[in-house]
Structure 1
Amino acid sequence: MTASHDALVDRVLAFRGGPVLVVGDLLLDSWIAGRAERISREAPAPVVQVSAREDVPGGAANTAMNLAALGAEVRLIGAVGADEAGTTLLALLDAAGIDTAGVVRLGDVPTTVKTRVSAAGQVLLRFDDGQELDAEAAAAVAARLPWAVDGCAAILVCDYGMGAAGAAVRDALGTVERTAPLVVDAHDILAWAPLRPDAITPNAAETELLLGRALGSDRIRAAQEAGDELRRRTGATGVIVTLDRDGTVVHGPGAPTRTLAKPAPDANANGAGDTFAAGLTLALAAGVDLHGAARFGQLAADVVVRTPGTGVCTIADLTASLSEGARMLDEPALVAVLATERAAGKRIVFTNGCFDVLHRGHTAYLKQARALGDVLVVAVNDDESTTRLKGPGRPLNPAADRAGLLAELSCVDYVTVFSTDTPVSLIETIEPHVYAKGGDYLPEMLVETPVVEAHGGEVRILDYVSPHSTSGLIARAKAAGVADA
């Protein structure tokens, strides 16, 4: 295994403490790809000239594949039909080294297959085959649990309402002796409340269902404020609200934290939730706390959203991703990572800004900042603080997009988002060796200067690149008639 230079990642990938049990609804995802260059004469529909077909595990099967790809020993419990699709799915799982002895083959229930037809990377159509398991089939799945739970390092339930992880499985889990952490990824999370899961992963829609209200336009803040209510309603020790491009909000011991996602096209998000749940569960099995486990899950999910299709994150993918570009971290994760960098003798450079519309002035000064040390940390004002600083109508781009774009720059090592008007409190926490600021400032003009110097750091003012500014770009766009006045 290649070291990733991230202590958390290395710890999780080195774990060999026992199998992870995955219980849930097994699917086969079938992808049909081709070109669509004309419209059918029979109906107003594109004609797809098929060039490729691929079958991959989906649902709980995809979650199991992700765990195996990250080096875990995996046991799988679920059901497939005694049909060609079921045979294909089991063959794919067996080839990945997953223990499928707990998978029931059903003679009278077809394997659930989701078929997508795409052209030029765009899904044009999806059609689903399959049906919910009846009580007898669900009981057969639940009967496999007692032996499978024995010796497991963690249990992950993937309940998508198709019956393989329904009432029978919940009853069975409630009767077995369980010492391993239980993670539940379910559409109906309240049904699992009596088992008091160690962690649950509701998405935005599922969170709204739990709360009985919409998260609203500021769903990050709404999710942060709802932690106690979510934990009380679900009986879960830890609640990780997953918000796709906005990352996650993590509620567990201590104050809530966030993970930051690298934005990606929605078309590439298929299976990202499975990858996140797999990474989270593996990290919990390795003894990582909830907040660190969520960060590991986010790192894995960020890998799979880069490409279309049902995604699997491998060890090689993850370590390569960490070496390719910046990592987007919340404050606690950033503090932990920088402690490791500092212990390795690295010189830490810190800068901040709104970075609403990235331009040459930004990139020039960020390159200069990176040259002042070994590690460059960029802190980005969140949307509310940007509005306070820049006025109504700003930012033009949300914080996730602004941070994500910065994370793609080769000169940037870590990106974080902060909510205050100045980064003074963040500087006090991370104590950078250098605070870099672009523009026509003097050190004595900055409220950050005494804080930086009090911790033994220095303030460096970088070259001003004129006439490059976000305000100037917006003004020119308005004058050209390409932006609203």
Structure 2
Amino acid sequence: MSPQEPSGRGGLSGQRALSEWLPRRLAAESPAITVIGDVMLDGWWNGNIERLCREAPAPVVDVTTREFAPGGAANTAMNLAALGARVSVAGIIGTDDAGVTLRKKLMEAGIDVRNLYDHPSMVTTTKIRISSGGQVMLRIDDSASAVPEEALAALAASVRAAVELQEAVLVCDYGTGVLVDPVRSSLIAALAVRGADGAEGATARPLTVIDAHDPRPWAGLQPDLVTPNAQEAARMLDLRLPDGAGRVDAVARHREALLAATGARAVVVTLDRDGTVLFSADGGSHRTWARPAAEKQASGAGDTFVAALTLAHSAGLPLTASLDLAQAAADVVVHQPGTSVCSTAQLSRHLASFADTALSAEELIRQLEVHRSQGQRIVLTNGCFDVLHSGHTRYLNQAKQLGDVLVVALNSDESVRRLKGPGRPINAVADRAAVIAALSCVDYVTVFDTPTAIPLIEQLRPEVYAKGGDYTPEMLEETKSVEDYGGRVAILDYVAERSTTAVVKRIRDGKEASPAN
């Protein structure tokens, strides 16, 4: 066990850093999770194009490879299994070749399929992408025009048993007709019984997550989380969202309407290249930023995201840290072709890759020149960031929103000792750099050893210098240097020393943190 790794599931409630050991620890918790919804089979057919067909001006693809993978709710289940959850899946498929293939692949992944019903009149939803040279040319969708009533009745009858003793229930509703009544009403009733105080036979309600094209029909379930994408959120709000980063502000202005429409305790809106934004009923919010790839054949990153989010939060990780972890898992998948999953080992390697990523000032200057040539604004902040906690992550998310590129300058170990005393830092600078760099809001990390950040500021000349704490710009030694070249000083609402000292004291006293969302 790493010195930074807390013991016991309760120890995860105060975990904020995305460390290399965290995916393995979550896998060891192995929460029981049921995925219910629209299971599909994805096909990826690749070939060569050397001519057009005679009948029409359309390219002829000579298929060379055919690959199939579970898609939709089945892909979400595969991701959960790859991350260490004990997974069961509930849904409806046909007895056709696609259904046989899908069931086999789920079973090979160790997924419980006893509540996956097949029916001879059902067509297993199949989506085949035909590509050449890395470019998808065509997608062929095959699905049932209607779901047989007998299959719906069988699934509805099994719902209560399917959610029994589960730590999370993840509903994947893509509107194919599987999650209509009586299935929906049976699921709402089953989870109401589990959550009812004083109800005979009632047990604690599992974490309930809705991943649906339209979450509104599930509002009666009062889910813990819903995860619409930007287009789905726009449809719920009956508005057109602007392009680019302006989508975040537009969605934020309607947070109360989103929460009301979905009946959820928290809404996570996924924004593709712009990451995600979280709004919770208690007024909290959180952003993540994607590290996008140019992969043209990537698919299913949203399934990976919701799977990792559900696994992490059901295992006891705070919601904001779970969101950061889910973003990291999605970043892994978008660099893989086809319908892919993110495994525990892949996620650990991804987080480990942030070790030793602190750049020298000279290399950082070269990188920032590229960003400035693209018209991007640089934000710089600095600090010890010794033991990462919610104050740090909230502060860094605020700093990121002041510009386009966030640079975090860490005090060297010797500098921390001069500031905090001989017992600090708790974590060496390499470890501090790794966990800070793993946060999606952070673009670059560097280290400085001077008494103030002034020499670094004069080298980097950031458009915005952000600082948290009980300061005014006039109190900071760095203000004059920033203003001399036309930069701006921004004071954010975070008091570092008080929060970090409390965390360090808890560590040294051996006390557990109080539960956090």
What's the TM-score, normalizing by structure 1?
A: 0.71
Alignment counterpart, residue 216 of structure 2, candidates 190, 195, 198: 190
Q: Which residue of 1 is the match for residue 240 of structure 2?
A: 214
Give the C-alpha shift of residue 216 in structure 1.
2.0
**1:9 and 1:160, CA in 2 relative to 1: closer, same or farther beyond 3 A?**
same
**1:146 and 1:44, CA in 2 relative to 1: closer, same or farther beyond 3 A?**
same
Distance 1:433 1:288 in 2: 35
Alignment counterpart, residue 19 of structure 1, candidates 8, 14, 32: 32
Q: Which residue of 1 is the match for residue 169 of structure 2?
A: 155
Q: Which residue of 2 is the match for residue 54 of structure 1?
A: 67
Q: Which residue of 1 is the match for residue 231 of structure 2?
A: 205
Q: How does 1:189-268 map to 2 (within 5 A)?
A: 189-217=215-243, 218-252=246-280, 253-265=282-294, 267-268=296-297
Q: Which amino acid aligns with 1:202?
A: P
Question: Quick check: 2:287–2:397 contact (8 Å CA) kept in 1?
Answer: no
Q: Which residue of 2 is the match for residue 413 of structure 1?
A: 437
SS of residue matched to 1:231:
helix
Is residue 2:331 matched to residue 1:307?
A: no
Give the C-alpha shift of residue 358 in structure 1.
3.5
Distance 2:19 2:318 in 1: 19
- Deviations along 1:315-371, whole A, 9 cap, x unmatched? 11111111224899xxxxxxxxxxxx9xxxxxxxxx9999473489xxxxxxxx9xx
Q: How does 1:384-395 map to 2 (within 5 A)?
A: none
Q: How does 1:109-188 map to 2 (within 5 A)?
A: 109-131=122-144, 132-176=146-190, 177-178=193-194, 179-188=205-214
Q: Which amino acid aligns with 1:437?
A: L
- Deviations along 1:286-315, whole A, 9 cap, x unmatched? 122322222221111111111221120111
**1:226 and 1:314, CA in 2 relative to 1: closer, same or farther beyond 3 A?**
same
Give the C-alpha shift of residue 44 in structure 1.
1.4
Q: How does 1:261-410 map to 2 (within 5 A)?
A: 261-265=290-294, 267-325=296-354, 355=368, 357-358=370-371, 399=404
Distance 1:384 1:190 in 2: 30
SS of residue matched to 1:118:
strand
Distance 1:240 1:231 in 2: 10
Question: Quick check: 1:139–1:169 contact (8 Å CA) kept in 2?
Answer: yes
The farther-off stretch of 127-136 and 198-207 is 127-136
Distance 2:251 2:347 in 1: 28
Of structures 1 and 2, the one scoring higher in RCO (CA 8 A, sep 6+) is: 2
Give the C-alpha shift of residue 5 in structure 1.
2.9
- Deviations along 1:21-45, whole A, 9 cap, x unmatched? 0000110111101222333343212
Taking only the aligned residue pairs, the percentage that are identical comes to: 41
Give the C-alpha shift of residue 102 in structure 1.
0.5
Q: Which residue of 2 is the match for residue 346 of structure 1?
A: none
Contiguous gaps of at least 5 residues in structure 1: 329-340, 342-350, 361-368, 387-398, 405-409, 419-431, 462-485
Give the C-alpha shift of residue 452 in structure 1.
11
- The count of residues paired between Structure 1 and Structure 2 equals 399
**1:382 and 1:119, CA in 2 relative to 1: closer, same or farther beyond 3 A?**
farther
**1:235 and 1:440, CA in 2 relative to 1: closer, same or farther beyond 3 A?**
closer
Distance 2:27 2:118 in 1: 32
SS of residue matched to 2:339:
coil
Distance 1:31 1:413 in 2: 34
Q: Give the root-mean-square deviation of aligned CA atoms.
A: 4.5
Distance 1:353 1:258 in 2: 27
SS of residue matched to 2:66:
strand
Q: Which residue of 1 is the match for residue 492 of structure 2?
A: none
**1:447 and 1:198, CA in 2 relative to 1: closer, same or farther beyond 3 A?**
closer
Distance 2:161 2:106 in 1: 20
SS of residue matched to 1:162:
coil
Distance 2:70 2:188 in 1: 28
Distance 2:123 2:115 in 1: 18
Q: Which amino acid aligns with 2:28?
A: A
**1:237 and 1:36, CA in 2 relative to 1: closer, same or farther beyond 3 A?**
same
